Structure 1
Amino acid sequence: MSQNAPRPGQATFAAWLIIGGSVILVLTAWQRISTLHTLEAQEELQRVLSEPPLSGTGVGLEGLKTTIRVLCMVAAAAATASAILGVQALQKSTSARLALTLLAPLVLVGGFATRGFFAPLVVAGVAMLWLRPTRDWFAGRPWLPASASTPSRRHDPFAVQPREGIDTPAKPEAPVVPPAPPAQESRPTTQPGPHSSPYGAPLPETPEPEPAVSPYAPAKRPGALISACVIVWVSSALVSGMMLLLSLVMAVARDDFFAELERQQADLDTQGMTEADLATGTFVMTAIILVWSVAASVLAVLAIRRQQWARIALVVSTAVVGLLLLAATLVNPLLVVLLGAALVTVWLLLRSDVSAWFKR
């Protein structure tokens, strides 16, 4: 009971607690963000600002709304990754359990802004993955259920032993079976075949040699994995190139760019940000996207080279990107193409044939 041991019920319960709590936490976070502009939510936030501990901090209503919005997005992103890693934990992935442990503080801190109790449930499920017998199952050690681990009763050396035949019925003797008579040899009456000798005795057939298969021959790489990595490489190159081009325009012809933008979209709302602020934000966003794209491309290369932890990290990274793109499509519907690419990539990486290839 080491490698092929059945999954403990505690591990199944903990993983589904993580998955279910994470899904509900994502929905709760987005519902909280979508209702921040309502009159009821603003009255509640004003009441929170007028009471300790925020009464003397100088935090305004807009600052508190921004903080809640950021925390909810952090909780949603961490919960999305936790739901995916919970599925991997059901498949006995130790790297998924470690990643869940690292994401647990983000889930807990971000969950405070959702006004729900689902974030502590997710953290409790992560903690259960480190308790026995789940801990022994992940380590490949034999584990026993509670009924089998109870100590048996000791034998009493002073107890009166039952006497066979008197206190207990005697064991019946096994019946004696006479030996069977020897079988008579019979001469073959059929004609000698092509594989028989002239005297009637069959000749041993020579088996055809089978092609030698090396036990170290690598299994065929799944096409779904190759397709997912190609999508990652193409999307990363496309997005990085577009952001680098936009940053170059901002650095060289910033005034002309904003003049043309204002001419085409006269009612564009910049949320009170100046041109310098928008340019700085573009540079920072370009740097983040560039680093993220390079990291995703490297993870795709390692996944092609059959690194299980790289596949899980790539799934988490793509899911977080998809969650961010889901929010960005509300502003720019054209980003739905990248959102579809992210969803297809996650689906391809989680296919059963891809998971089986990594387990060989």
Structure 2
Amino acid sequence: MSDPNAGRPRQVTLAGWMLMAGSALAVLLVADRLSALHSLESRQAVEQFLSREPGSGLGLDVDGALSLIRTAAMVTAGCATAAGILGYQVLRRSRSARLAVTVLAVPIFLAGMVTGGFVTSVIAASAAILWLQPARAWFDGTTPPERPAAVAAPTPGGASPASPAASVPAAPGAAAYPRDERRPGAVLWACVLTWVATGVTLFGLAGSGVVLAVRTDVMLDEAHRQSPDLAAQGVTDQMLVVATYLLIGGIGLWCLAAAGIALFVLRGAAWARIVLLVSAAAASAACLVGAAVGAVVLLLPLGASVATIALLLRSEVGLWFNRPPLRR
């Protein structure tokens, strides 16, 4: 059986490991940033930034700026978690993972400025390296272009010497895998976990929507208790209710999409495996942040997401998804 890592350029290995290590470090930096976000030092730093250009032209107060920083930090954590998973797939010669991690590098670089910007810049640079030679040729399964060689002088007999490149056989294409139609059990378990987790989440969202519709005052009282200055910031009760419904609807659509993608994973679609890995990684990051602020119930979907990622990253699963299509 051919090894998908055969002939992997050193720059791809370096970029893949930098993606994984940088993403892990970025998540840790986000956790540290969020833990100290409401400290006195942070508020003073934000006040100082907003008191002079260019911060004074943003039209934000301290609380609004802190909310913006919190949102950017959570976006960074979610995207970095997905990029770390994709970094492993990049080392397995996945072209879809290379494309996905390149797309994620943009919000990681921009939103990651709240963590200092250095680590997220390394992640973005690592994604860019994957599109340079010889990495691009390795992903395409071709031979990287060679520098033009000097033309050798003709031999006394008049015949030109054979070019060294002419005697070298063309490099084979992408690594070949023997087709195995037997689906690994880990694929089925990953799909089952996805369906169970999304089903339970949808049930909880439906219950939350019913409670919100019947006992709206309870939700509003709790929101005002946790953030007494909402009215001073111009946030009305109607805005809170609409935002909560939108949040419930958005998470519900995410669950439905993940459940549908799991069907394609079960059928052996390689792109669906990558998408489900990214979805599970983003869900893990969101659940981790929620559990860190006190929502202990999110530890259950966190465990399901981590288990799904571990199952989809098993070596036999990767070989099954990378098998060539059956020729008829």
Residues 304-356 of structure 1: CA deviation (Å, up to 9, x unaligned): 11011100110110111111111111322122122111111111111112112
In the alignment, is the contact (CA less than 8 A) between 2:12 and 2:135 conserved in 1? yes
Q: Distance in 2 between matches of 1:335 and 1:284?
A: 20
Q: CA deviation at 1:241?
A: 1.7
Q: TM-score, normalised by structure 1?
A: 0.75
Which shows bigger deviation, 3-12 or 106-115?
3-12
Give 2:193's aligned residue: 231
**Structure with bigger RCO (C-alpha 8 Å, 6+ apart):** 2
In the alignment, is the contact (CA less than 8 A) between 1:5 and 1:137 conserved in 2? no
Q: CA deviation at 1:125?
A: 0.8
Residues 284 and 7 (structure 1), Cα distance of their counterparts in 2 relative to 1, 3 Å cut: same
Residues 42-90 of structure 1: CA deviation (Å, up to 9, x unaligned): 2221211122111243311111111111111111111111111111000
Q: Distance in 1 between matches of 2:281 and 2:6?
A: 31
List 4+ stretches of structure 1 deviating above 6 A.
none
Normalized per residue, the structure richer in helix is 2
Pairing partner for 2:303 from 340, 351, 359: 340
Q: Distance in 2 between matches of 1:298 and 1:321?
A: 16
Pairing partner for 2:286 from 278, 301, 324: 324
Residues 47 and 333 (structure 1), Cα distance of their counterparts in 2 relative to 1, 3 Å cut: same
Q: Distance in 2 between matches of 1:291 and 1:4?
A: 37
In the alignment, is the contact (CA less than 8 A) between 1:46 and 1:61 conserved in 2? yes
The runs of 5 or more residues in structure 2 that have no matched partner are 157-177, 231-235, 324-328
The runs of 5 or more residues in structure 1 that have no matched partner are 159-215
Residues 24-43 of structure 1: CA deviation (Å, up to 9, x unaligned): 11111221111112222222
Matched, 1:250 2:188: no
Q: Distance in 1 between matches of 2:44 and 2:179?
A: 67
Quick check: which has more Rg, 1 or 2? 1
Give 1:102's aligned residue: 103
Residues 299 and 94 (structure 1), Cα distance of their counterparts in 2 relative to 1, 3 Å cut: same
Give 2:242's aligned residue: 280
Residues 68 and 98 (structure 1), Cα distance of their counterparts in 2 relative to 1, 3 Å cut: same
Q: TM-score, normalised by structure 2?
A: 0.82
Percent of aligned pairs with the same amino acid: 37
Matching of residues 64-143 of structure 1 within 5 Å: 64-143=65-144
* Pairwise CA RMSD: 2.8
**Count of matched residue positions in the alignment of Structure 1 and Structure 2:** 295
SS of residue in 2 equivalent to 1:52? coil
Q: Distance in 2 between matches of 1:217 and 1:43?
A: 62
In the alignment, is the contact (CA less than 8 A) between 1:240 and 1:286 conserved in 2? no
Q: CA deviation at 1:19?
A: 1.6
In the alignment, is the contact (CA less than 8 A) between 2:5 and 2:93 conserved in 1? no
Residues 334 and 26 (structure 1), Cα distance of their counterparts in 2 relative to 1, 3 Å cut: same
Matching of residues 165-244 of structure 1 within 5 Å: 219-244=181-206
